[in-house]
Structures are given as C-alpha cells and as structure tokens.
A = this chain, B = another copy of it.
Amino acid sequence: MTDTPNVVAQRLWDFVYAYDAAYDRAAREVGLSAAQACLLKAVSEEPRTMGELATYLLCDASNVTQLVTRLEARGLVTRVPEPTDLRSKRVAITGAGTEVDRRVRDAFAFPRQRIDRLPPESQRTLADLLNVLGSET
C-alpha cells in the first residue's frame, strides 16, 4: 500500500476532530467555552502571569485579558499582584474554579476511558508514537 500515509493522516484528522468536539462539549456542559476551559486548566496546574498565559495559549495578550476578566467575574480565578513587579499579575484558580475544572475533566471522558481499555503495551506504544509525531524537527 503506497497510500498508507494518507490513510494515517485521515485517521489523525478524524481523531483530532472527535477529540476537539468532545472537549468542546465537556466545557459547554459546565457552562464554559473551550477557550475558558483551557485557561482554567492552565492555571489549575500553577498560577501563571498574563504574559505566560498568552504564550501558553498561543494567543495575544489582549485576548488573555478578556478571558481572565470573564472567568474572574464568575469567581473562577483571581488576579494576584506580583510583589516583585508591580506591573505584573498572576492568575490563580479559586476554590470554585478548581471545582469547575474538575467537572470539565470528568465530563471529558473521551481519552481517559478509551485509553484505559487499551492493553498497557499498546498504551506505551501510543505514547511513544505521539511523542515522535509531536516533537519538532
């Protein structure tokens, strides 16, 4: 089969399509957009400055300002002033935000449930393949 790469590429497309749709659905079930859920996930790992979030989310700083403003208005995150640099603000998740973040993860059962069904060896193989595909160069 000389067209194996095309088959694989199509499988990848379909998979990512389904993955994205499932994440969007999970976020909306909890009343968030996918962008808001992503930001919440980012700050649930550790508090991050506005600039760090822009880098992490691959978007403009002004976009982060507005996303954070909406999430803060709902009490899910807070802007904490940085003592070392008065210009900077660090976004921290609140208790309510942590709860909402957990609900998004629960609703986003797509990958975890299906991964669990794979034999451990297949799981390792998949992780390795994704690592190769995802790495630069």
Residue positions of A touching B, CB distance < 8 A:
4-5, 7-9, 11-16, 18-21, 58, 111-112, 114-118, 120, 122-127, 129-134
Contact = CB atoms under 8 A, between A and B. Distances in A.
Contacts of A18: 134
A111 B133 contact: yes
Contacts of A132: 114, 117-118
Nearest to A21: B58
Contact of A111 (B12, B111, B112): B12
B131 A11 contact: yes
Contact of A8 (B8, B16, B21, B115): B115
A111 B11 CA distance: 11
